[in-house]
Structure 1
């Protein structure tokens, strides 16, 4: 798979063609077995697991991981350690790496994250989803009332693979009008195991919902969704209701697995489902 614009990333990404029987098995294990474990236990295990990547010994994983997952062997030169550190002291530091220089673009609307665009559809065409015998609509993902999001809006879901950059940035200039934390499960995010419904985890997993009103008065709805092994989802500096944000300003970061959903007043102009998107690329 190739990136649509020649920016910073290593866009190689395999969209796995999992046989239906195997996808059904993985879905059963994720939703019916792991998903029925109490959420607090899922979270406790995920926190413990993710803590292993904070240990100094995990630093030894970084070099072989880069060799295995990136064709660009100088990939890491585009980034710097987080939190003002001078070195990557553990694998988690690599996972939450920061750009040395953010991508530049003249577009007023940009993608807020990097990964596989696994779902893209106008709201009026989206199907209902049944979760534990409860019928849910797309408004459930963003924690708003039914019909609050206009039907002409477009829903997108970007799956962030472990190798992808794991910070979320603002897609527009605007003002934060709402932040909502939704407790939930941490079922597996891999979209290829949910045949016909790659966004199912976004309806039930723990997430932060952030609404941004752009300079034209339109609301962009973001849902930052956690998955197994997510220790936490951390909001960026000065990310609070009433504060203004500029395009590409950091909104949040993930400590391991993640997905970013968005309901936007316009449709993607250069990307379709099952293509790779990057931070800062025109939306």
Structure 2
């Protein structure tokens, strides 16, 4: 009973008008009045912020806040892959030969997620990792590896919740939500960074310039909590043995190692 009710509720509240209203409010000057309470409710770490709370003119500016340069350390070991976001690692695993992955008991298609059959083959039998950002997390996205951008594209229209309830009761949320996908070629092989929009706010802004990204370099930002899916070409990535899901992680911390 709960599954169809949940889906109906989300469909009714996730239309263009509701998304537009929330986006307009978050970017309005009046939203600055809830910045202090939002900071308190979500226990945001003010010491690592680049600005003071009173300097954020809107709630949106708080969402996309930058951190002090020393707030995050990028692990630079040979072949190290680092977390692109502050998040909870919700799931890790193998991409099946059929292009399927299983997340929270639900089956997703990597082919549908990428929307490009020509790119699919290299990821079959590879690895995936799901990183969920709540509203409390730092919302900027950094490159998990050093590499060259081979392609970047946008898919999807609406966005449904990507928290544990969304993954459990939603319909192919990771594969049908609004998403911006960046594929990188590294010295080891290909990595796809799938930035998945969250409920209400389809806002993923790309910030990097050019085609080369250093490990830890900023790529984009979310305007609200969301999810990043990392896809690794077959045989090039080994997940860190210490990671047991769910696992809290921060930008720059090691999540695994690339191998030839």
Query: Same fold by TM (over 0.5)?
Result: yes
Deviations 1:169-198 (A, max 9, x none): 100110000101102321122223543x88
- Give 1:154 shift: 1.2
State which of 177, 190, 196 in structure 2 corresponds to 1:225.
196
Counterpart of 2:165? 192
Counterpart of 2:93? 121
SS in 2 for 1:113: coil
Counterpart of 1:137? 109
State which of 76, 81, 85 in structure 2 corresponds to 1:106.
76
Counterpart of 1:171? 144
Instruction: Give the superposed CA RMSD.
Output: 2.9
Residues 18-57 of structure 1 aligned to structure 2 (within 5 Å): 25=2, 27-32=3-8, 34-35=10-11, 42-57=15-30
**Aligned length, in residue pairs:** 240
Counterpart of 1:210? 182
Distance 2:38 2:145 in 1: 33
Q: Does the aligned pair in 2 maintain the 1:30–1:188 contact within 8 Å?
A: no
Q: Does the aligned pair in 2 maintain the 1:212–1:219 contact within 8 Å?
A: yes
Task: Give the alignment's TM-score, normalised by structure 2.
Answer: 0.81
- Give 1:81 shift: 4.5
Runs of 5+ consecutive residues of structure 2 not aligned to the other structure = 256-260
Distance 1:175 1:33 in 2: 41
State which of 147, 156, 159 in structure 1 corresponds to 2:129.
156
Q: Does the aligned pair in 1 maintain the 2:95–2:101 contact within 8 Å?
A: no
SS in 2 for 1:52: helix
Distance 1:277 1:65 in 2: 22
SS in 1 for 2:138: coil
Distance 1:31 1:94, change over 3 A: same
Superposition misfits of 4+ residues, deviation over 6 angstroms: none
